[in-house]
Structure 1
Amino acid sequence: MKKIPLLDLKAQMAPIREELLQAVAKVLDNGQYIMGPEVKAFEEEVARYVGVKHAIGVANGTDALLLALDAAGVGAGDEVITTPFTFFATAEVVSQLGATPVFVDIDEKTYNIDVKQIEAKITDKTKAIIPVHIFGQPANMDEIMALAEAHNLFVLEDSAQALGSEYKGRKIGTLGHAATYSFFPTKNLGGYGDGGMVVTNDDELAQKIRILRVHGSNPKYYHSMIGYNSRLDEMQAAMLRIKLRHLDDWNNGRRERAALYNELLKDTPLVTPYAAEDRKHIYHLYIVQADDRDQLMAYLKEKGISTGVYYPVPLHQQDVYKPLGYEKGSLPVSEYMSNRTFALPLYAELETETIHMIVDTIKEYYANN
């Protein structure tokens, strides 16, 4: 039985393998392995691609969030508004800085933070908002920025899953005061290890993040603040530079395959992803809803088709955040979606015949149930 993975990183790597090996050899021959020319060049290329003044490479996407919030002055006693329907890191970094994450429920169509509910959660302790462009779908940034301006709040776009997506013709990462990306291997632009980046047009913020990532030093051995050891690896930067050239093609490939899924799944009980008209969804994950999710996933697994749940427990219900006092049912849409949503295989190299086969298997399940 042929197994179909959720994501096939080997298939993505195969056509660019020689380029990647040459990039690695170049770093080895150069002998500069930390903060070398590849990191500098990659930062410049991402800044140009996104359309921002500054791009600062860091060790991973979590550190990108942490350093950006730290540089913005988020600390003990502050509150940061965000979504509970995301990877744990989004809230984790808030807590690491001594601040409190304040969770706002999500929109049932986009799975992004419901902007209509944000204002009610703003207090005199609120310092920042972190919208997450979940699964590659941009959040409603106009409304979020209007609220931020009215209440003097810092907006950090968690764009870990959204590099290359667009909101009203503008690249995600240019709309808030700063944005962060993850280059974890499974991301649309993924490295061969960890990596992350902060982008911003704010000169002062960028300078602070650059100092924070090298132990708070500027120049070396002269420390003006308590910092971190969080640098993007030179080898990763070299390989990510190769992959960045292919990002738009890969994202378009995902979009085409998502459109095919949408068409083929039309007559099934599954709820397919909604994409707002004024934005470019890049489908980091192809997320569907099913009443009988677990049974359907088990059936697909039997047939060799991989699936995944993102995310089984919303953040306000995680054990570590129980002291915050969110009752069951307090954020009903997030809780509902955590029990219904799952991902089907999606990547630019996924063959259309395979998508037809996956959908036929789903239809077979429903015919039998």
Structure 2
Amino acid sequence: MSDSVTDFLPFALPDVGEPEIEAMVEAVRSGWVSSGPKVKEFEAAFAAAIGDGVEAVALNSATAGLHLALEAIGVGPGDEVLVPTWTFTATAEVVRYLGATPVLVDVDPVTLNIDLADAATKVTPATRAVMPVHFAGLPIDHEAITDFATTHRLAVVEDAAHAFPASHAGVNVGAGRSEATVYSFYATKTMTTGEGGMLVTRDPALAQRVRVMRLHGINRDAFDRYRSDKPAWHYEVVAPGYKYNLTDPAAAMGLVQLGRAGQMRDRRAEIASLYDAAFADLDLELPSWGGEGVGHSWHLYVVRLPQGSDRDAFVRAMAERGVGTSVHFIPLHLQPYWRDLGGHARDDFPVAAREFDRVVSLPIFSSMTPEQVQKVIAAVTATLGGRRSRVKIGLLTQWYDPEPGPAALPGALARGLVARGHDVKVVTGFPNYPTGQVAPGYRIRPRMVEELDGVEVTRVALYPSHDDSVRSRVTNYGSFGASAALMGVRKAFAGIDALWVNYSPVTVAAPMLAQSWFRRTPSVVHVLDLWPDTLTATGFAGSGIASRAAVVGLNGLCNAMYRAGSKVAYVSPGVGERLRERGVPESKLAYAPLWANESLFTPRERQTERGFGVTEHDRVLLYAGTLGRAQGLEPLVRAAARLRDAGLVCLVAGSGTEEQRLREVADEMGATNVRFLGRLAPEEMPTLMAAADVHYVSLNDDPLARITMPSKLQATLAAGGSIIGMLSGDAADVVADSGAGWVCRPDDVEGLARVLAEFVAEEPAAVAARGVAGRAYYEAHFSLARGVERIESLLTEAAGVAS
């Protein structure tokens, strides 16, 4: 498959590589070219991926699975089954296979999933079951559908052809209380076996009935017959049957795809985020992510054109620009067969009829290259006549790529703004964080200009340092501020429309105020932490006369920035409240929380071979970050010591002023289950995080900590990790509201020990479900796409341009 952006980009392509091909060849060579051991292995692995207590039955299509599920629950002549009109024809057709009647239902205008209120009006004494469809991979509320079915005494067969892997409220689609859930592995789905499907159920009798019916109603499949020492020729036909079995080569492909399913879903979600960011200022309605607690599979990315648009013209224009599109779905009641069969009029289902006229599905598949994604973005933007606004934006930040950790966040913002069509220029320093050593490929000089990812980056001289002495830190910060004011912003920011300022004031106050006073450039001051409060709370500022004078001076500098800024953005509710107390007008204030480095922190499969001296049976807690006074880590060591014989292992990665003290406390307490790993390279962090079952986030209990949103909290949520937080205030509220884990009060060793014991006792799947809920919360509140959207809105408002 060519990656050239000059080639026509199809609407969908399967993500199949050499491992899948090799697995299929191996299956053929084994002699099992029909259903055999690979099918059984695939079924077991898929059931394990869905959750405890389920059985999986492999079939040659989702259509087969839906058919057999309805047969197994006893649907037959005279029965009615509720089916959304917004679906593929197979969902309804299988009802007719059994002599029953599909009753069409309208859909929700936001999700395009079944409208249960409309469904309730269609229930009759003959209604036997309901078949909800998880359209595009956006799961329905499993509790809502269960309550609906219970109220009306109906069975539930879920059409999850689009929805693997997907979850709602921490529960995987298929792991709920429905009678059966059916998945598709067609070539365009989130994972594929070429052709194929899977039925999942908690009912062993139903699973056995489907196993028998999938192969002619025979009570022994070929694999069991030919591996048995009993006569292979003997079998019995015990039920009606069909030819619906999956082959071993297809199952072999499925096993490889299943191992990659999480990664492929994450890539689809990443593309959806890029589309969201790029299309936010276009005249389009973007698809729903589903809100908190929802894990979307992103099988489809469906946009809606303005009412009255010529969709056919849009599709033609996209094709002329080399991009394939599709439409999902033509509602069943508008198809001649179903219209005539049910005597339906177009407006019998008003939501489906209205939304059908304007939906278009854009390419979204996991093997898409960055160039292909940008091709789609460019084609959509050009087809819709360009963006409503294009702003020349300056970003002022001491820290920028290729510096790691929090220093990488401004780069992500810059790239996001470029993707949305803006011109972006950056003034920053030479990379030296966090070691104080200038990064390879750079040398300190007065000024240099380079281009990174479509962004013009001006670097100015600074004193490289990152040790703990006040003099070195102040010299590092102050040297950048002076260089940026004298040699950076004057040239780089000539003609910009708006300026984003990455706080802290020591580094950016002088260049920001110069730009504001002399060029009248409107600016957004992004307050990441409060100054000089941070210096006072951490003890970094001394108690002498000079230190007190410096604090007073910094306070004045901050107030000058707030007065000069057009907008003052804050990262937590508590910081916003402090800014109000300092007199910043409400009209200037805006909530804009930070995001995680999503290139590093993304959900990954938990590793069986976890490394770092950890065994498969250990329950692993990870702390990764600075080992300083502000983090309050001593209670963790003391609480962990009490569970050293309970299977708890605490990995502590990082360094800082308290490291030696923490090691001494661990020795004193006999905390042999606390292992200090030292500082690890950024590229090692994903592997380390995948080795952990739960992540530890902590801050001391002081007024500043209560309004702080530690970056590792967003990173853990983004990575889909569950959390144990020794926190108070805003950060504690996030852990509680997200459902991502446990919270106890800072310095409460007894309380932390109880929480650790609860974590060790909880089933791993339940712990993992907390992480899934946390990831959904991150996507709804903290994601890069939403961060870029918020800051873009502030910048365009400051510049006086419609966003």
Task: Return the TM-score normalized by structure 1.
Answer: 0.94
Q: For residues 274 and 358 of structure 2, what CA distance do their matches in structure 1 show? A: 22
What does residue range 66-215 of structure 1 map to in structure 2 within 5 Å?
A: 66-175=67-176, 176-192=178-194, 194-215=195-216
The answer to whether the Cα contact below 8 Å between 2:13 and 2:188 also exists between their aligned partners in 1 is no
Cross-structure match for 1:7 = 12
Distance 2:32 2:382 in 1: 55
User: Within 5 A, what are the aligned runs for 1:330-349?
Assistant: 330-349=348-367
| Residue from 265, 268, 293 that aligns with 2:282 | 268
Q: Does 1:41 align with 2:59?
A: no
**Could you tell me whether the CA contact under 8 Å between 2:50 and 2:172 is conserved in 1?**
yes
Q: Point out the structure with max Rg over C-alpha.
A: 2
Q: Which has the higher contact order (CA 8 A, sep 6+)?
A: 1
In structure 2, C-alpha distance between the alignment counterparts of 1:211 and 1:8, rounded to whole Å: 34
Determine the C-alpha separation between the residues in 2 that align with 1:235 and 1:329.
46
- Give the distance between the partners of 1:226 and 1:28, measured in 2 at CA: 30
Matched, 1:323 2:341: yes
Measured in 2, the distance between the counterparts of 1:249 and 1:345 equals 18
The verdict on how the C-alpha distance between 1:32 and 1:351 changes in structure 2, with shifts beyond 3 A counting, is: closer
1:368 Cα deviation after fit = 7.6
Shift of 1:141: 2.2
User: Displacement, 1:336?
Assistant: 1.6
Question: How many angstroms apart in 2 are the aligned matches of 1:295 and 1:229?
Answer: 43
CA distance in 1, matches of 2:32, 2:379: 51
Letter in 2 for 1:274: S
CA deviation map 1:129-172 (0-9, x unaligned): 00000110101221211121122211011001111010111111
Deviates more, 1:216-225 or 1:280-289: 216-225
SS in 2 for 1:57: strand
Q: Secondary structure at the residue paired with 1:102?
A: strand
- The yes-or-no answer on 1:226 pairing with 2:240 is yes
1:34 shift after superposition = 2.4
- Residues 58 and 195, structure 1, Cα contact 8 Å, conserved in 2: yes
Alignment of 1:287 with 2:302, yes or no, is yes
What is the one-letter code of the residue matched to 1:263? A
Q: Which moved more, 1:352-361 or 1:83-92?
A: 352-361
CA distance in 2, matches of 1:42, 1:239: 9
Corresponding residue SS for 2:385: helix
Matched residue, 1:217 = 218
For 2:532, the equivalent position in structure 1 comes to none
**Residue 346 of structure 2: SS of its match in structure 1?**
coil
Counting matched residue pairs gives: 362
Write the distance in 2 (CA, Å) between the matches of 1:357 and 1:228. 45
User: Is the 8 Å Cα contact of residues 191 and 240 (structure 1) preserved in structure 2?
Assistant: yes
In the alignment, which residue of structure 1 is the partner of 2:572? none
Give 1:345 shift: 1.2
Relative to structure 2, which stretch is displaced further, 56-65 or 114-123? 114-123
Task: In structure 2, give the amino acid aligned to 1:366.
Answer: L
Paired with 1:215 and 1:324, the residues of 2 have a C-alpha distance of 32
8 Å CA contact retained: 1:106, 1:334:
yes
Q: Over residues 43-69 of structure 1, what are the superposed CA-to-partner deviations in whole Å (9 max), with x where a residue is unaligned? A: 000000011421001111100100111
Residue 28 of structure 1 aligns with which residue?
Answer: 28
Which residue type is aligned with residue 356 of structure 2? S
User: After superposition, what is the alpha-carbon deviation per residue over 1:88-119, rounded to whole angstroms, capped at 9, x for unaligned?
Assistant: 10001001111111111001111100122221
Q: Tell me which moved more, 270-279 or 83-92.
A: 270-279
In the aligned structure 2, how far is the partner of 1:368 from the partner of 1:134?
Answer: 29
Higher deviation after alignment, 344-353 or 70-79: 344-353
Note the residue ranges of structure 1 that are not aligned, 5 or more in a row: none
2:373 matched to 1:355?
Answer: yes
- Report if aligned partners of 1:79, 1:126 keep a CA contact under 8 Å in 2: yes
Give the match for residue 259 of structure 1. 273
SS for the counterpart of 2:10 is: coil
Deviation per CA, 1:208-232, whole angstroms, max 9, x where unpaired?
1111112112246312221111101
How far apart are residue 351 of structure 1 and its match?
2.8
Is the contact between residue 116 and residue 148 of structure 2 (CA under 8 Å) also seen in structure 1? no
Partner Cα separation in structure 1 for residue 74 and residue 99 of structure 2 = 11
Q: Is the 8 A contact 1:115 1:140 kept in 2?
A: no
The CA distance in 2 between the partners of 1:239 and 1:248, in whole Å, is 16
Give the AA of the match of 1:285.
Answer: L
Q: Summarize deviations over 1:226-282 as a string: whole Å, max 9, x none.
A: 111110111100111011100100001000110110111011111110121121111
Local SS of the residue matching 1:246: helix
> Are the counterparts in 1 of residues 81 and 95 from structure 2 also a CA contact under 8 Å?
yes
SS at match of 2:38: helix
| Alpha-carbon distance between aligned partners in 2 of 1:81 and 1:212, rounded to the nearest angstrom | 24
Unaligned stretches of 5+ in structure 2? 1-5, 221-233, 388-803
> Which residue is equivalent to 1:240?
254
> How far apart are 1:3 and its partner, in Å?
1.6
Q: What amino acid maps onto 2:42 in structure 1?
A: F
Cα distance in 2 between the residues matched to 1:367 and 1:317: 31
Give the alignment's Cα RMSD to 1 decimal: 1.6
Structure 2 distance, partners of 1:348, 1:210, is 32
C-alpha distance 320-249 of structure 1, shift in aligned 2 (>3 A): same
TM (normalized to structure 2)?
Answer: 0.44
Helix, strand or coil: the match of 1:298? helix
Q: In 1, are the aligned partners of 2:333 and 2:346 still within 8 Å (CA)?
A: no
Q: CA deviation at 1:335?
A: 1.3
CA distance in 1, matches of 2:299, 2:77: 33
**Distance apart, 1:20 and its partner CA:** 2.4
CA contact (8 A) 1:81 1:128 kept: yes
